[in-house]
Every structure is written in C-alpha cells, then in structure tokens.
Structure 1
Amino acid sequence: MPQQNTDSPIEVVRLAKRPQFLFVRNGPAERRKSVVVQARRRTGDAPGSHVGAGFTATKRVGNSVVRNRAKRRLREASRLLLPRLGQPGTDYVFIARDATADIAWSRLLDDMESALISLAAH
C-alpha cells in the first residue's frame, strides 16, 4: 500500500476549466475497474513544473450523492499518489466509474497506482 508523501517537491494544481479537460482527453488513457486515468504532457512548460489534476463523474455513475463520494475518493487517492507517481509537466484527469464509490479503498489505490505507472511509460 502506498505511503503518504507530505514533503513532495511536486506541486499538484487542480484543473478547473473545460478547455483543460479537453486538452487532456486527447492524450493516452488507462482504464481500470474503478477508475479511468487520462494524461497529457503540457508543451512549453519548464522542467520541474507542477502536475495538474482534474476529477469528473458522469451521471451514469449514480445520483449526485454517489458522484460526489466517488470524486472525493478520487481526490484523496490522487493526493496520496500523484506527488510520488505523477510526471512533472503533465495534466491528469481521473474519471469515476460505477465501482469507484463502493470499491475497497486499497483496490482503488492499487487501480490508480497501476494506471499512473502505465501512463508514465507513454
């Protein structure tokens, strides 16, 4: 299980605008049972720049309570994993799936970790 990393030199910045999400959509994606992770390297950024993170859940995931719970879990998992596994100068979008809100926490972390490792190889 991943360790919490609080002394990370990599700053994680939230993606908030639709064009940022659309930019990341055109990059590679990794699909797992509990999460889909999309990534795309920003062009023109200086080395050692921040990591972008955005979160989304469609209505197919469930009602607003379930969607919000799924996004909270994704945010917390990314807070633990992105400083260690995120590539500087890259934006990530985490998309909730049907299982995201109810799957075991350790499984969600494992799914997200394996997706981030696979995306690092691209």
Structure 2
Amino acid sequence: MASQTPPPSAASPGAFCVKRPLVTLTQRKDFLSAARAARVPTPAFLLQARRRDEGEEPGAIRVGFTCSKKVGNAVARNRAKRRLREIARAILPAEGKDGWDYVLIGRKDATATRDFQAMQADLSKALEKAHR
C-alpha cells in the first residue's frame, strides 16, 4: 500500500501545504463579535479579524462573508460573495490562524470587478496586518 502524502504546493516546489478546514460563520453573534475586532481595509473588500476567547470553540479557522444591498442587486451580491469565498478557500488555509474568526465584506463595484490575483494578494496583506 502506497503512503498517502500530500502533493507539493504549486507556489513553492518541494514544500507541503497544510490544508486546514474552514468553518463558515452562520450566527449573527459571531458576525457582531468580528465587527468589534480589528478591521483591515483593502481596495476590493474589508477584512474583520479576531482571535476567539478562551471560552469559545477552539480549533478551526472560521470565516464569514457578507455584502450589503449597496453592492447591488441579488445577482451582484451573490457574485461578490462567490469571489470572496474563492479567495478565502485559496488563502486562509495556508495563511489564516487556528482559533481566529475572519469576516470578508464586499464593496460596491470593486469586489466584482477587481482582478482575482490582486484580490488574493490583498487578502494575504490584510492577514499580515490583522495578525500583528
């Protein structure tokens, strides 16, 4: 039986990427807690990040997404949230920290139109600032 080792990451040859599960925030109280935490603005979205307290659920990275009606109609809001979910799936497992909550808030026009690679770079920079 062959050993099951993860394939090397495309970003850095020879290195292994540890994939940690992302848990989606669904309860309003979690979004409100994140709203009181650190905010890091980027051109395409706003990142809210907080470290969970001792008494709260430890472990996995939790992430939530929101877009207000200012972003546009339902189609525009859903498109913006899909883009935010995809950058979170790509970046947070590698650069996020266990025991943290992250909320990505879409911005009018910018979330739907900004270059996808630039959005990923924005999230990486925002995480660096939030973890300081």
Task: Normalising by structure 1, report the TM-score.
Answer: 0.88
Q: Deviations over 1:70-101 (max 9, x none)?
A: 00000000001001111110000000012001
Which of structure 1's runs of 4+ aligned residues deviate more than 4 A? none
- Name the structure, 1 or 2, with higher relative contact order (CA <8 Å, separation 6+): 1
1:1-122 equivalences in 2 (<5 Å): 3=11, 8-44=18-54, 49-98=59-108, 99-121=110-132
Shift of 1:10: 2.4
User: Which letter maps to 2:122?
Assistant: D
Q: CA RMSD in A?
A: 2.0
Contact 1:51 1:87 in 2 (8 A): yes
Which sections of structure 2, spanning at least 5 residues, go unmatched? Answer: 1-9
% identical aligned pairs = 38
Which sections of structure 1, spanning at least 5 residues, go unmatched? Answer: none
Question: What is the aligned length?
Answer: 117
**CA distance in structure 1 between the partners assigned to 2:131 and 2:27 by the alignment:** 24
Task: Normalising by structure 2, report the TM-score.
Answer: 0.82
